[in-house]
Amino acid sequence: MFETGVAVGHRPAPRTTCRPTRRRTEGFTLLEILVVLVILGLVAAVVAGPQIFKYLGTAKTEASKVQIQRIAGALDLYRLEVGRYPAEEEGLSALIEEPAGADAWNGPYLKKKETLLDPWGRPFIYAIPGDHGEYDLYTLGTDNAEGGEGEDRDITNW
């Protein structure tokens, strides 16, 4: 039963070694990820920034075209019901508030007064009789001056 000082069938206990606990260094910290995201955001802003501003200007021009079409539709409906377009003294506000002497007025033809402002915050210009039709409806664009090209051009109903 004893062979060289060891009991038969008995195994010696495994040796335990104390390993010092090491901090895990794999992966990224939250701070490192945030720094990378900020850098990517800055690169994207530098690369895409000019294109965004170009589209912003174009969007205002396109929005003014849509607004002119909407106001023109409301003017046509006003004419069908009242029998005439609003007089120049009444202006486009006749589409929102009933003017004196418009007995068949069945408005409002537009819901908000802000609809009568172009995307640059200026009132649309309404002239009756118009030089290009029964009435002229237009905005002078970004530069607020007649003529121009690109974003500065006039947007009209003719």
- The winner for highest mean pLDDT among 7-21, 34-48, 50-64, 84-98 is 84-98
Distance CA 115, CA 96 (A): 10
| Residue 12 burial (CB count, 10 A) | 7
Does pLDDT of 1 surpass 70? Answer: no
Q: Residue 11: its pLDDT value, please? A: 67
State what percent of residues in the chain have pLDDT above 90.
37
Write the CB contacts of 154 (distance below 8 Å, at least 6 apart in sequence).
138, 139, 140, 141, 146, 147, 148
pLDDT score recorded for residue 116:
92
pLDDT of residue 38: 94
Closest CA to 83 of 61, 68, 96, 101: 101
Higher per-residue confidence, 100 vs 15: 100
In the prediction, which pLDDT does 102 show? 80
What is the reported pLDDT for 142?
82
pTM of the predicted model over 0.75: no
Query: What average pLDDT score do residues 43-60 get?
Result: 73
DSSP assignment, residue 142? T
Overall average pLDDT of the 129-157 stretch: 86
What value does the mean pLDDT take over residues 18-46?
81
